[in-house]
Amino acid sequence: MPLHVPVLRALAAGALLALAGCASGTPPSGPAARGAEAGEGPLAAFARDASPGQRGMVTLSDGRTVPVTLLRGYAAGSGRDCRLLRVDDVPGGRNELVCRDPDRGWVASRPLLPGGAVAVR
């Protein structure tokens, strides 16, 4: 057996173990299932629990309930985990960016580059 086959098998086994660790535990019943952590607003709470492409209804702090979609998640240059949301509360919708702060949980953030939270393909 060539030497690279055992190495590939070991890598595949390691990947499966890593994936199994990500899937362990009881899955939440949805983005609205958990209460907001300290410092989190309703959009941040949705972003924390949603998966990319997931759509849900979120009650904003002003009492309006609006459709929200998690467009994508990414690691920012700062090393923080960020989520880009589409909020359909105005004609044409608007984008909101939330990032995970180690002390405050998921909080609203500004994109570092002009249009950084708008240019999504």
The answer to whether residue 51 scores a pLDDT higher than 90 is yes
| Proportion of the chain above pLDDT 90, given as a percent | 47
For residue 106, give the 3-state DSSP assignment. Answer: strand
- Report, as an integer, the average pLDDT of 50-69: 95
Question: CB-hemisphere CA count at 13 Å for 95?
Answer: 16
Q: Which residue has the higher pLDDT, 114 or 42?
A: 42
Q: What is the pLDDT of residue 110?
A: 82
C-alpha triplet 88, 104, 80: angle, nearest 5°: 75
Structure tokens at 117: 């939270």
pLDDT per residue over 24-35, tens digit each? Answer: 333 333 443 334
Take residue 24 and report the two structure tokens written for it: 């362990």
Q: Helix, strand, coil: what percent of the chain each, to 5?
A: 25, 30, 45
List 69's β-bridge partners, or say none: 55, 86
